[in-house]
Amino acid sequence: MPDLGQYAVYVLASYAVSLGLLAVIILASIFQARRIRARLEEVESRKDRAA
Protein backbone atom coordinates (compact mmCIF):
# COMPACT_ATOMS: atom_id res chain seq x y z
CA MET A 1 0.00 0.00 0.00
CA PRO A 2 1.81 3.22 -1.06
CA ASP A 3 2.45 5.87 1.58
CA LEU A 4 -0.28 8.40 0.81
CA GLY A 5 0.93 10.85 3.40
CA GLN A 6 -1.33 13.48 4.85
CA TYR A 7 -3.76 13.44 1.93
CA ALA A 8 -4.53 9.72 2.29
CA VAL A 9 -8.15 10.32 3.30
CA TYR A 10 -8.83 12.52 0.26
CA VAL A 11 -7.32 10.11 -2.26
CA LEU A 12 -9.07 7.11 -0.75
CA ALA A 13 -12.35 9.03 -0.44
CA SER A 14 -12.36 10.08 -4.10
CA TYR A 15 -11.51 6.54 -5.26
CA ALA A 16 -14.19 5.10 -3.01
CA VAL A 17 -16.87 7.58 -4.18
CA SER A 18 -15.99 7.08 -7.83
CA LEU A 19 -15.88 3.31 -7.75
CA GLY A 20 -19.08 3.39 -5.71
CA LEU A 21 -20.88 5.53 -8.32
CA LEU A 22 -19.62 3.29 -11.12
CA ALA A 23 -20.94 0.27 -9.22
CA VAL A 24 -24.30 2.02 -8.86
CA ILE A 25 -24.73 2.67 -12.58
CA ILE A 26 -23.52 -0.83 -13.52
CA LEU A 27 -25.78 -2.60 -11.01
CA ALA A 28 -28.75 -0.36 -11.85
CA SER A 29 -28.32 -1.19 -15.52
CA ILE A 30 -28.12 -4.92 -14.79
CA PHE A 31 -31.19 -4.98 -12.55
CA GLN A 32 -33.19 -2.91 -15.01
CA ALA A 33 -32.14 -5.22 -17.83
CA ARG A 34 -33.19 -8.29 -15.88
CA ARG A 35 -36.56 -6.78 -14.98
CA ILE A 36 -37.37 -5.74 -18.56
CA ARG A 37 -36.10 -9.06 -19.99
CA ALA A 38 -38.33 -11.01 -17.58
CA ARG A 39 -41.44 -8.96 -18.39
CA LEU A 40 -40.73 -9.27 -22.10
CA GLU A 41 -40.43 -13.04 -21.94
CA GLU A 42 -43.66 -13.19 -19.96
CA VAL A 43 -45.57 -11.08 -22.51
CA GLU A 44 -44.01 -12.88 -25.48
CA SER A 45 -44.98 -16.27 -24.05
CA ARG A 46 -48.50 -14.91 -23.45
CA LYS A 47 -48.58 -13.85 -27.13
CA ASP A 48 -47.34 -17.26 -28.35
CA ARG A 49 -49.87 -19.07 -26.17
CA ALA A 50 -52.63 -16.90 -27.57
CA ALA A 51 -51.53 -17.35 -31.20
Partner 1 sequence: MASIWEYANPRKFMATSAFVLPWIAGLAGVCLVVGLVWGFFFTPDDFRQGSTVKIIYIHVPSAIMAVNAWLMMLVASLIWVIRRHHVSALAAKAAAPVGMVFTLIALATGAIWGQPMWGTWWEWDPRLTSFLILFLFYLGYMALWEAIENPDSAADLTSVLCLVGSVFAVISRYALLFWNQGLHQGATLSLDREQNISNVFWYPLVISLAGFGFLFLALVLYRTQTEIRARRLKALIAQERMG
- Contact between 49 and partner 1 (CB under 8 A)? no
- Contact between 17 and partner 1 (CB under 8 A)? yes
Q: Where are the alpha helices (DSSP H) in 1-51?
A: 8-50
Cβ(49)–Cβ(42) below 8 Å: no
Instruction: Report the C-alpha gap between 20 and 51 in whole angstroms.
Output: 46
- Contact between 51 and partner 1 (CB under 8 A)? no
Which positions touch partner 1 (CB under 8 A)?
2-8, 10-11, 13-15, 17-18, 21-22, 24-26, 28-29, 32-33, 36-37, 39-40, 43-44, 46-47
